[in-house]
Copies of this chain bind each other. A is one copy, B any other.
Amino acid sequence: MERRITESFDKQSLMRTLGAQLDSVAAGQVVISAPILEGTRQQHGFAHAALTFALGDSAAGYSALSVMPEGYEVLTAEIKINLLAPGKGDRLRATGRVLKAGRRLVVVAADVYAIDEGREVLIAVLQGTMIPMAPA
């Protein structure tokens, strides 16, 4: 299962562009982090909301994939993000988790933290729906 998720993650060119890495994979919980690069900022030099979204959505999606049978994929049907604080610091880290795994839909959540000189601040929460795609 960890292998499948790593393979899928490595095929996402955006994850490379953002400098993101898979930190941990467990059944129903996946952690992804990324540095706040010179090229992923908003107008005040903080992490761009789209970086926060990218990590939270991906961590949530892979947490859904972690509970799917071999050969399945997942797509984001919808997801909502509430931004709580600026993405200030060196790095963002997102933890995605499965709230309810159904046959047709998987409901997921994610928390995103900014890490600023060792201090961690919750900067966003996401809640969404993933669709399992059976192998062709």
Contacts and interface: CB of A to CB of B under 8 A. Distances in A.
Number of this chain's copies in the complex: 4
Interface size range on A against B: 35 or more
Contacts of A85: 100
A21 interface: no
A81 B135 CA distance: 26
A87 to B, nearest CB: 11
A126 to B, nearest CB: 8
Interface of A: 8-9, 11-14, 16-17, 38-44, 48-51, 53-54, 57-58, 73, 75-85, 99-100, 102, 104-105, 107, 109, 122, 125, 127-129, 131
Contact of A81 (B13, B44, B79, B102): B79
